[in-house]
Chain A
């Protein structure tokens, strides 16, 4: 049985879709069978980030409504043969998702794949709650700023009450993925510090993804950053996060902290 991970945040624009694609591609490069499911019905983006927008025929809503078989809707990545995408529908809205339909799809995906990564829409409504409903573990994507942190806190509360796992009285495993971390701004003190975010959210950290042009460049060419430029700083951080998701224990480095005096001076000037 595969593991279901929900990538969620509450707030929009913090990097859920980028992180879903990057973690999915990182796990698939370990040889494990991965499907990334877009729950953002009506505002789908994951197909673009994964470079599959011209290959979408059937989608999650078609499968839920019985208009297509799951195998017809799944899109295999052209670069990684163990990576699949289940796209959302762009022409429908979140009401097209039914709890029963999502349950059937998730059960089937869990049977076939090692990892089912659910890319949640922003917000705390139907789309987001259905994306988290069947999760075994959660990746909470947070930017180091107060509104993102508070929204993440709200989502953690929902993960602990509205998921099947919580309703069965089990503990939902939650991991914090800090994205868009800018070492220069952190140094100047105009961004929340890593330890402050951890103190507020009090869930374990699985990675700090530095703010980088590489992420934007990867999105624009339609490739997860872990495929587009595997040696870039954000890609390396995503690879480490994927290893931690798979259960490995690795020390976490805060970007920018290893720099020497020269780097600090350079960093200040550059900012």
Chain B
């Protein structure tokens, strides 16, 4: 039995990876800015139009110092899109948003970018790479409040996904247990991704950015083994067994 679960038009929300340059300033900022100016004079426009993330992990600075630094960088046409490793108390309105979960990449992944090194303190360029298809297996229940985010491929959970937990996969999602939380498959733009679960009690389902809330799901699918996939702009569902 197949059911159309979505209207023709719905809101699309997708995840996407971008290349960002990460700057890790060190104290005192005056010296570091002087070195940055030196770099900029040798490579005009290196930061122009580039997303730049500021990594302030372990730096003992307060809000005013961070604001000054962001201002100094703006004067040099370096726009900060996010701050990594900052205490929430030193961020706030008017400041770039906090970022986390950045992953370092190998140098060859950024080979097409000009490789420039600062004296003493090399800038650490970071990109989200697109490796070959992968999968991960989680052998324990995913508890409320936990997120499993795996843009690289499939996620298999041997156990249940609790209410208030979420799985976000670049590929398909397989739950050998009850799916009570959220499952978002094909999150980086993969319309062929599917969601499978042994027992459907989900709060929210999404494939390739097409979302469906619990109340929009056919009641006879609840508590059943179900697979879901995308046809055009509609999430389709079918009972397994």
A131 to chain B, nearest CB (A): 18
Return the chain A residue nearest B162 by Cβ.
Answer: A153
CB atoms of B145 and A154 under 8 A apart: yes
Docked complex Cα distance between A153 and B159 (Å): 13
CB atoms of A154 and B164 under 8 A apart: yes
B144 on interface, CB distance cutoff 8 Å: yes
B178 on interface, CB distance cutoff 8 Å: yes
**Helix, strand, loop or mixed for chain B's interface?**
loop
B129 to chain A, nearest CB (A): 27
Contacts of A249 in B (CB 8 A): none
21 A-B residue pairs with Cβ-Cβ distance under 8 Å, sorted by A, are A150-B144, A150-B162, A150-B164, A151-B144, A153-B144, A153-B145, A153-B162, A153-B164, A154-B143, A156-B143, A157-B144, A157-B146, A158-B145, A160-B143, A199-B178, A200-B160, A200-B178, A200-B180, A202-B141, A202-B159, A202-B160
Return the chain A residue nearest B140 by Cβ.
Answer: A160
Docked complex Cα distance between A144 and B162 (Å): 16
The range of chain B's interface size is: 10 to 19
B190 on interface, CB distance cutoff 8 Å: no
B204 to chain A, nearest CB (A): 15
Return the chain B residue nearest A159 by Cβ.
Answer: B143
Q: A150-B164, A199-B178 are in contact. Are A157 and B145 (CB under 8 A)?
A: yes
Interface string of A3-43 (1 = CB under 8 A from B): 00000000000000000000000000000000000000000
Docked complex Cα distance between A154 and B164 (Å): 9
Contacts of B145 in A (CB 8 A): 153-154, 157-158
Question: Which residues of B in the span 155-198 have a Cβ within 8 Å of any Cβ on A?
Answer: 159-160, 162-164, 178, 180
Docked complex Cα distance between A153 and B141 (Å): 10
Return the chain B residue nearest A203 by Cβ.
Answer: B141
Contacts of B146 in A (CB 8 A): 157
Docked complex Cα distance between A156 and B140 (Å): 12
Excluding A150-B144, A154-B144, A200-B178, 4 further A-B contacts by CB distance (< 8 Å) are A157-B145, A157-B146, A200-B180, A202-B141
Contacts of B163 in A (CB 8 A): 150, 153
B55 to chain A, nearest CB (A): 23
Question: Which residues of A in the span 202-233 have a Cβ within 8 Å of any Cβ on B?
Answer: 202
Contacts of B160 in A (CB 8 A): 199-200, 202
Docked complex Cα distance between A157 and B180 (Å): 15
Return the chain A residue nearest B142 by Cβ.
Answer: A157
User: Which of B140, B144, B163, B164 neighbours the largest number of chain A CB atoms within 10 Å of its CB?
Assistant: B144
Docked complex Cα distance between A202 and B141 (Å): 8
Question: Which residues of A in the span 138-154 have a Cβ within 8 Å of any Cβ on B?
Answer: 150-151, 153-154
Contacts of A202 in B (CB 8 A): 141, 159-160
Contacts of A199 in B (CB 8 A): 160, 178
Contacts of B144 in A (CB 8 A): 150-151, 153-154, 157
| Cross-interface CB contact of A157 among B143, B159, B178, cutoff 8 Å | B143
CB atoms of B162 and A200 under 8 A apart: yes
Docked complex Cα distance between A154 and B165 (Å): 9
Contacts of B141 in A (CB 8 A): 202
Return the chain A residue nearest B177 by Cβ.
Answer: A202
B170 to chain A, nearest CB (A): 23
**What 9 A-B pairs come out closest when comparing CB atoms?**
A157-B143, A153-B144, A154-B144, A154-B145, A153-B162, A153-B143, A157-B146, A150-B144, A150-B163
Docked complex Cα distance between A202 and B180 (Å): 14
Docked complex Cα distance between A86 and B146 (Å): 33
B203 to chain A, nearest CB (A): 11
Contacts of B140 in A (CB 8 A): 160
Docked complex Cα distance between A151 and B143 (Å): 10
Contacts of A154 in B (CB 8 A): 143-145, 164
